[in-house]
């Protein structure tokens, strides 16, 4: 038995405690400063109020002030914060983790350097701790509530050290949680981050249909499929540009598929497609973490700088450009279909 400490008791970090617990490990779930009510509920009766599941016995919940106790004797630390907590985790939590303990992050996203270059969160964190820690990440099609319900799930663990990845796989893989490993960190992380952005774009079609025919109308699949295809092409271009492999691209496409069926990014894309302004949509989704906004803004900004340097062409990313216009310039949704077409 090993000791696995999860920092961040949001939905995905908490869901990962289920396979960890099923494998007989001692699981310690630590809340951030934003998770106090979640931890209090788990301490009272093991019920997770946002995941809306009762977590298994054997998972011990800790408030943030108890983190030193939770880290003591740990064999693995799982980062369960979202992309808005990346700096906090890097500056506050990573310095507390001994160098022999590997870190495994569920956090998805990319950071832009000043010249338009993009880096995955594990590389950013490793720079903060001067490569003192082995920092790895999880990517692939996985919704938190289905993982908590033990549905069949296949993901990738990515990192720089194959031996560390094998150990992490042995600790967490179950008969329903299946793990592949990859050293293509930039490819996996870029692909699964971009899927959050493009899930919003594909969902524009849902809202546009509802704008014309009313909420609850018969779905139109041709527009969604067309946007999915364009999203796939743009994701492929960008991941390859960053040096990622085709295998990693496929991981991101699988993640895109599951994300457009539900969740926060679909809700936001649908509301914007219906005709709500960005502010109106945000007000309706108040309290939800919308990571798609960060990755759209980051990727679009980076591409503009890369285009100025002659390293990328903005014309190859019409859907990303339109998503950026909608969320950052408050433009109405108007899919640029003609820009998607190609003539040989």
* CB of 13 closer than 8 Å to CB of 87: no
Instruction: Give the pLDDT mean for 112-126.
Output: 94
| pLDDT range class, residue 286, cuts 50, 70, 90 | confident
- What's the pLDDT at 137? 98
Instruction: Give the pLDDT mean for 190-197.
Output: 96
* % of the chain with per-residue pLDDT over 90: 94
Instruction: Give the pLDDT mean for 247-272.
Output: 94
- At the topology level, CATH places domain 3-183 in Rossmann fold (3.40.50)
- What's the pLDDT at 38? 97
Phi, then psi, of 324 in degrees rounded to 5 = -65, -40
| pLDDT range class, residue 202, cuts 50, 70, 90 | very high
CB atoms within 10 A of CB 40: 13
Q: Does the structure show a pLDDT above 90 at 290? A: no
| pLDDT range class, residue 327, cuts 50, 70, 90 | very high
- What's the pLDDT at 154? 98
Q: Does the structure show a pLDDT above 90 at 289? A: no
Q: What is the pTM of this model?
A: 0.94
Average pLDDT of every residue of the chain = 96
Q: Which of 195, 286, 305, 338 is catalytic?
A: 195
Q: Does the structure show a pLDDT above 90 at 288? A: no
Q: Is the Cα torsion angle 216, 222, 223, 227 positive or negative in sign?
A: positive
- At the topology level, CATH places domain 186-340 in 1.10.1040
Four-CA torsion 131, 134, 135, 141, nearest 10 degrees: 150
| pLDDT range class, residue 67, cuts 50, 70, 90 | very high
- Measured in Å, how far apart are the chain's first and last C-alpha atoms? 60
Q: Is the Cα torsion angle 336, 237, 326, 197 positive or negative in sign?
A: positive
216: region left, alpha or beta (phi > 0 left; psi from -120 to 50 alpha)? left
- What's the pLDDT at 114? 83
3-state secondary structure string across 209-226: HHHHHCCCCCCCHHHHHH
- Cα separation, 214 vs 45, whole angstroms: 42
Domain ranges of the chain: 3-183, 186-340
- Cα separation, 86 vs 216, whole angstroms: 37
- What's the pLDDT at 306? 96
- What's the pLDDT at 241? 96
Element (H, E) at 29: strand 26-30
* CB of 311 closer than 8 Å to CB of 238: no
60: annotated active-site residue:
no
Per residue in 6-50, pLDDT tens?
A: 999 999 999 999 999 999 999 999 999 999 999 999 999 999 999
- What's the pLDDT at 258? 94
- Cα separation, 70 vs 3, whole angstroms: 9
62: region left, alpha or beta (phi > 0 left; psi from -120 to 50 alpha)? beta
Instruction: Give the pLDDT mean for 240-256.
Output: 96
Instruction: Give the pLDDT mean for 159-188.
Output: 98
Q: What is the DSSP string of 148-190?
A: HTT--EEEEEE-S-HHHHHHHHHHH--SSEEEEEES-HHHHHH
- Going from the C-alpha of 327 to that of each of 201, 244, 272, the distances in angstroms are 11, 27, 9
Closest CA to 5 of 120, 104, 114, 115: 104
């Amino acid at each position: 038995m090993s000791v696995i400490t999860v920092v961040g008791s949001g939905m995905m970090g908490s869901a990962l405690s289920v396979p960890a617990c099923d494998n007989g490990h001692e699981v310690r779930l630590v809340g951030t400063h934003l998770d106090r009510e979640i931890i209090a509920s788990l301490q009272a009766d093991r019920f997770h109020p946002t995941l809306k599941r009762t977590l298994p016995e054997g998972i011990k919940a800790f408030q943030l002030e108890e983190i030193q106790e939770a880290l003591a004797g740990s064999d693995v630390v799982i980062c369960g914060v979202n992309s808005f907590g990346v700096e906090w985790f890097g500056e506050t939590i990573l310095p507390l983790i001994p160098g022999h303990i590997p870190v495994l992050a569920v956090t998805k996203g990319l950071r832009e350097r000043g010249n338009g270059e993009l880096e995955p969160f594990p590389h950013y964190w490793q720079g903060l701790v001067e490569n003192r820690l082995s920092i790895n990440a999880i990517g692939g099609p996985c919704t938190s509530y289905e993982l908590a319900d033990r549905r069949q799930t296949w993901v990738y663990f990515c990192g720089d050290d194959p031996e560390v990845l094998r150990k992490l796989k042995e600790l967490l893989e179950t008969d329903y949680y299946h793990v592949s490993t990859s050293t293509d960190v930039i490819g996996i992380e870029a692909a699964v981050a971009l899927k959050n952005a493009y899930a919003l774009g594909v969902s524009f079609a849902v809202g546009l249909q509802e704008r014309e025919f009313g909420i609850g109308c018969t779905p139109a699949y041709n527009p969604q499929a067309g946007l999915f295809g364009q999203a796939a092409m743009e994701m492929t271009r960008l991941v390859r540009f960053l040096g990622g492999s085709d295998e990693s691209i496929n991981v991101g496409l699988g993640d895109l598929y599951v994300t457009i069926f539900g969740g926060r990014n679909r809700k936001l894309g649908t509301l914007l497609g219906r005709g709500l302004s960005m502010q109106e949509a945000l007000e309706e989704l108040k309290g939800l973490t919308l990571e798609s906004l960060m990755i759209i803004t980051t990727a679009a900004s980076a591409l503009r700088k890369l285009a100025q340097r002659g390293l990328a062409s903005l014309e190859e990313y019409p859907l990303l450009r339109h998503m950026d216009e909608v969320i950052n310039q408050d433009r109405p949704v108007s899919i640029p279909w003609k820009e998607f077409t190609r003539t040989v």
